[in-house]
Chain A
Amino acid sequence: DGGITQSPKYLFRKEGQNVTLSCEQNLNHDAMYWYRQDPGQGLRLIYYSQIVNDFQKGDIAEGYSVSREKKESFPLTVTSAQKNPTAFYLCASSETLDPYGYTFGSGTRLTVV
């Protein structure tokens, strides 16, 4: 079955450590996205990539980094520069610039202690 896999589901890290969240898709989608959700807020876009080896900052990119070396993979690194990293992170993919719907992963809940 085609879909998006995010791992792990839950992640705990000590303050000051970088951590990388995995997102893999086998849908052959060109575009991939990372969103963050905080309580009472909508999904906010961190980074997105419309093609391999290219990505753009979203609305809240500070303290995060991404890479897109392969079409199926779009890992997100939460760096120590991110002031408030504890959140729920959701990855999505779509056909390039396709307004007709995203496919989402099931998310990773990151807790920094």
Chain B
Amino acid sequence: ILNVEQSPQSLHVQEGDSTNFTCSFPSSNFYALHWYRWETAKSPEALFVMTLNGDEKKKGRISATLNTKEGYSYLYIKGSQPEDSATYLCAFFYNQGGKLIFGQGTELSVKP
């Protein structure tokens, strides 16, 4: 059974704090690692799709790194804002079956 683990499960920070989350995934049969942001009452929105070991991607104040050999990815948010409050999902796409396996998510709450 393929397992994707995210930590922490939830995080409460003050506006302006920087924060990071971890996603652990199987290091074999790797094809891609996705990060999604899911705000309450909305659809999950793709943040990053990472495919190469050592990949670093950035979108505004959010960035992500990837280590496929050891099976982890970090998502960083610099200077958190209340609008960053959401659940952040990572998902592992493995090359047998063509489907995504999701972690349980990290719920971020940013207080003004």
Contact = CB atoms under 8 A, between A and B. Distances in A.
A96 B99 CA distance: 10
B4 A58 contact: no
Interface stretch (A37-45, A61-69, A76-84): A37-45
B9 to A, nearest CB: 8
Interface in B47-69: 49, 51
Give the secondary structure class of A's interface: loop
B71 interface: no
B4 A99 contact: no
Nearest to A38: B104
B29 to A, nearest CB: 12
A57 to B, nearest CB: 11
Interface in B82-112: 89, 91, 93, 98-105
Given A31-B98, A42-B4, A97-B98, A105 B43 contact: yes
A101 B105 contact: no
Contacts, number: 54
B35 to A, nearest CB: 10
Contact of A96 (B4, B89, B98, B103): B98
Give the secondary structure class of B's interface: strand
Given A42-B4, A43-B102, A58-B99, A99 B89 contact: no
A104 B44 contact: yes
A101 B46 contact: yes
A46 to B, nearest CB: 11
Given A31-B98, A99-B51, A102-B46, A42 B31 contact: no
**Which 5 pairs of residues, A with B, have the shortest CB-CB distance?**
A99-B32, A42-B104, A97-B98, A43-B102, A42-B102
